[in-house]
Amino acid sequence: MNSFISKQTVWCLTLAAVLLWLPAGAARAMHGNASIAGVTGTAFQFTAKADHITTGDGNNVFFWGYANGGGEVQYPGPTLIVNDGDTVTITLVNRLPEATSLVIPGFAVTASGGQPGLLTREAPPDGITTVTYTFEANRPGTFTYYSGTHSDLQVEMGLLGAIIVRPSGYVAADPMSWTAYGDERSAYDQEYLYLLSEMDLTIHKLAEQGLFDQIDTTRFWPVYWFVNGRTAPDTMLDDDVSWLPHQPYSAMTMMNAGERVLMRMIGGGRDSHPFHTHGNNFDQIARDGWLLDEGGGNRAAEVGFIPDKSVSDFTQTVSPGGTYDAIFVWTGKGLGWDIYNGSDAEHMMAVLTDANGDGFDDTTFEYIADHGKPFPVVLPGQQEVTFGAFYSGSPFLGAAGSLPPGEGGNNPNSGFAYMWHSHNEKEMVNNDIFPGGLMTMVIVDAPGGGVMP
């Protein structure tokens, strides 16, 4: 029988008169907060050059990319992190065999140097001439940049990247100040970038051999798909692993239950990709660096406050050149069972508190209405199931269970694991080898369970 403890919870099911601060607010103090890797500053020196990347099937693929300063050339190009109001200058020198340039949509960019092209000024392939692109980053949000010269070849080859503009009031050292657009509607605890792209291997092989006359981009047929420049399973490695020197960015996503996670999704290639979250819907809060709001409005949602015209969905069509910001929160609401084990006597003795009246315990983010509800099925015996690397051994959040030797291992804090991926399923392969491509894993840990920043 279940025992019920009298709860000292405050039930405020009507619209709260108090400011509904984020249910994740308390969680922030408990563990690390991830933010997107990139380069900061206001002056960047890009060199466009060629090298190779590695894909999850063990292939080396020739690519063209941007290197910042004395750094390695990388795919995608360096993620530039600047502040609202900064005047940003990017100089470009070109060591590729044809002219190249930079286009930064969403800003008024002035270009000087080099010679005029179709979209902007271009750096000739002489390795010497510098083109300077200057713009004022006059609004916060998620943005992208790519080559505006012979784009059907050069974007395919890898000349693309992301720009993040921090709002005023953002303090890197203080996660409580983290918002995407300056107010609580875009506040977050963890921040992740999903820059989606693809590659047609044939084009890269011909480019590597210098056979540019034989490249026909109208016959574009991608066989590799990338999140942040890596194919799965490399998407799940850390930033800056030494064996991927030209692919420094991770897509591994970790969060604690109840935290607001900012997803910055960018269409970096030429195809649309339907980016699909498991585990919950997200609320899309912005497009191309503008909040989806009407006159500054907001509304309350499961994730807390969001702009009033936000869209709740579980698949985001990420179109080429577009940027999409979304807030994702995982909670146990709707599962119908107690995520901390309704049949465990010690758990049932816990006192749940809900000071902000959002229906979740303020510390553990247990959905109070499901407190004590038992797990709905009897799990089969261990000999009758297969496990995989992400199962903790127990269906309850933060609880580990026994596993046969060799099983598990990818879930050290016994969280819940989900896959976020392109729902165009053929994109989850590396040159026809599954698993691979445009997918990454997400681990939701119990509050207090570590998050790798």
Partner 1 sequence: MKTLNAGFLGVATSLLLLFAAPPLQAATVTYNLAATAGTVAMPDGASVPVWGLVQGANLPLTPVPVLTAAAGDDLLLNLTNNLPEPVCLTINGQQTANPAGFAVQAPTPVFFADANGRNRGRSFTYETAAGGGTASYAWTNLNPGTYLIGSGSHPSVQVPMGLYAVLKVDVAPNEAYPGELFDSEATLLFSELDPVLNQAVAAGAYGTATYPTALKVGYKPKYFLLNGRPWSASSPPLASVTAGETVLLRLLNAGLRARAPIFPGQALTMLAEDGKPAGFQPIQVTADLFAGKTLDAVFTAPANAGYLPLHDRALGLSGGGMLGYLTVGTPTVALDVTVTGPGSVSTTSLPGGIAACAAGDCSASYLADTAVALHALPSGPDSALSSWSVNLTAGGTPTGECIGGGDCVVTLDQGKTVTAIFANYAATTLISPNGGEQVPLDQTMPIRWAAPADVYTFDLGYSPSPGSPFRMFANRVAGREFLWDLATANLRPSSAVRLAIVGYDASGAIVDRDTSDTPFALVSPLQLTYPNGATGEAAIVAGDPVTITWDVRPTVIPVVRGTLWFQASTNTPWTLVADVDPILGSYAWTAPATPTAGATARMALTLYDATGKVVANDTSDAPFRIEPPAGPLAATSRRTLTATTTVAAAVAEPADLVLLIPNGGEILAGEIPFTILWQDTTQAATFVLDYSLDGGQNWQSLATAIEGNQFDWIIATELRGSNAVRLRITAVDAKDAVLARDLSDAAFAID
| Site residues for partner 1 per CB under 8 A | 45, 70, 93, 95, 97, 103-109, 115-120, 125-128, 130, 148, 150-152, 155-156, 216-220, 267, 270-272, 287-290, 292, 294, 309, 317, 319-322
| Pick 220 or 390: Cβ nearer partner 1 | 220
Question: What is the closest distance, in whole angstroms, from the C-beta atom of residue 275 to partner 1 in the complex?
Answer: 14
Which residue's CB is nearer to partner 1, number 32 or number 113?
113
Distance from the Cα of residue 212 to its chain's centroid: 34
CB 208 to partner 1: min, Å: 16
Do 364 and 447 contact (CB within 8 A), yes or no? yes
Q: In degrees, to the nearest 5, what angle opens at C-alpha 53 toward C-alphas 49 and 56?
A: 165
The CB-of-159 to partner 1 minimum distance in angstroms stands at: 12
Nearest distance, CB of residue 217 and partner 1, angstroms: 5
Q: Output the six-digit token pair for 174.
A: 């203080």
H or E stretch covering 202: helix 201-208
Q: How many CB atoms lie within 10 A of CB 31?
A: 22
- 98 or 183: CB nearest partner 1: 98
Name beta bridge partners: 134.
Answer: 89, 110
Q: How many CA atoms lie within 13 A of 140 on its CB side?
A: 18
Q: What six digits make up the tokens of 430?
A: 């590396």
Burial class (CB in 10 A: 0-12, 13-18, 19+), 173: exposed
- Amino acid identity of residue 3, one-letter, is S
- Asked if the bond preceding 76 is cis, omega within 30° of 0, the reply is yes
C-beta closer to partner 1: residue 136 or 344: 136
Q: Bridge partners of 262?
A: 191, 327
Task: Tell me the C-alpha distance between 310 and 284, whole Å.
Answer: 5
Please, what is the minimum distance in Å from the beta carbon of residue 143 to partner 1? 9
Place of tokens 């050069």: 154
The minimum distance between CB 203 and partner 1, in angstroms, equals: 12
The smaller minimum CB distance to partner 1, of residues 221 and 243, is found at 221
Q: Which is nearer to partner 1, 20 or 119 (CB)?
A: 119
Residue of 160, 201, 159, 130 whose CA lies nearest to 64: 159
Q: Across the chain, which distance is largest between two alpha carbons, in Å?
A: 79
Nearer to partner 1, 267 or 408 (CB): 267
| Least CB distance to partner 1 at residue 101 (A) | 11
Q: Which is nearer to partner 1, 152 or 238 (CB)?
A: 152
How near is the Cβ of 215 to partner 1 at its closest, in Å?
A: 10
